[in-house]
Amino acid sequence: MIKQDAILNAKLLVVDDRAENVDLLAAILYQAGYTSVTSTTEPNDVFRLHEENRYDLILLDLNMPGMDGFEVMEKLKQIEEDSYLPVLAITAQPRFKIAALEAGARDFITKPYDLVEVRQRIHNILEVRLLYKEVAEYARIHKELALHDALTGLPNRRLLLDRLVTLLLHAKRTQHRIAVMYLDLDGFKAVNDAHGHDCGDKLLIMASERLRFATREEDTIARLGGDEFMVVIGDISELSDIDRPATTIIRELSQPYLIDGVEVTVTASIGVSFYPDDGVDVDVLIRRADQALYEAKHAGKNRYRTSRG
């Protein structure tokens, strides 16, 4: 249930071409306890104002010269991607009521105003609007959590695969290579065993931050689980182009970590595969990178190996 304070603090916009009508409705709103009321007599400004402020409710007069309320609602649909128009239509014409609802308005009030009805309709529509926003935000957060690693905030395997497919399609069009870097932290288990899981979790968080620092903004970094990560680098011209980013990642991850007053050290091993040289399928590229990672481990760790040796 939406709290009364949230309703009274909602952002409202009053739109009427006549200043006296704006003043009257604004006074009604302030008397009812609403704290954030904006107004305009220029219907052409509504789109810009709503884009900047994202009002919880727009009290919109339908009969205005130049641009009427129906035209304003049509324009607002350009920025309300979910087609939910937070509009309470105002009209003195009974024939406009159904038309306003069909155009997307949530409800309507009629002139001359019945104060009890106006206050109740505004309260009801705001309660629904804020509940709608709360549910939408919950859904957004839930989706975000489903696609990101809970500990580090990095994309998880599911989001990685989606992005990798998109990158492969782009690379096919542009005739560029992609590097898939599979890496893990040498010595992580020893740190976890010696200092506990809390220390291990903090190490993983710090390592993920170093990965962000060591890569470009356009690169994709993901945590696959445990101490395993993957970095996908696009727009590579030559296989040798991977040397610099791989060396940078190894250097950054191998610096000492100070965790709760204890200095710990791990290194990093990386296996690299390339599109299209090693395959054009996501699973094949990941498998080839995993094989190259095994070779890096077998060669002494703290290094990278490509699928080419």
Smallest CA-to-CA distance from 71 within 82, 87, 55 is with 87
Is the CB of residue 242 less than 8 Å from the CB of residue 306? Answer: yes
Is residue 234 within 8 Å of 276, Cβ to Cβ? no
Closest by Cα among 28, 32, 33, 96 to 61: 96
Query: Helix, strand, or coil here: 188?
Result: helix
> If we measure between CA atoms, which residue out of 95, 48, 93, 46 comes closest to residue 72?
46
Where residue 74 falls (left for φ over 0; alpha for ψ -120 to 50; beta otherwise) is alpha
Long-range contacts of 30-34, Cβ-Cβ distance < 8 Å, separation of 24 or more = 32/8, 32/119, 32/122, 33/8, 34/8, 34/10
Estimate the share of the chain in helix, then strand, then coil, as percent rounded to the nearest 5: 50, 20, 30
Residues tagged active-site? 227
Write out the two tokens for 187: 């010595």
Cα separations in angstroms, 47 against 23, 30, 151: 21, 24, 40
Buried b (16+ CB within 10 A) or exposed e, 197-228: eebbebbbebbbebbeebbeeebbbbbbeebb
Q: Cα–Cα distance between 152 and 207 in angstroms, integer?
A: 9
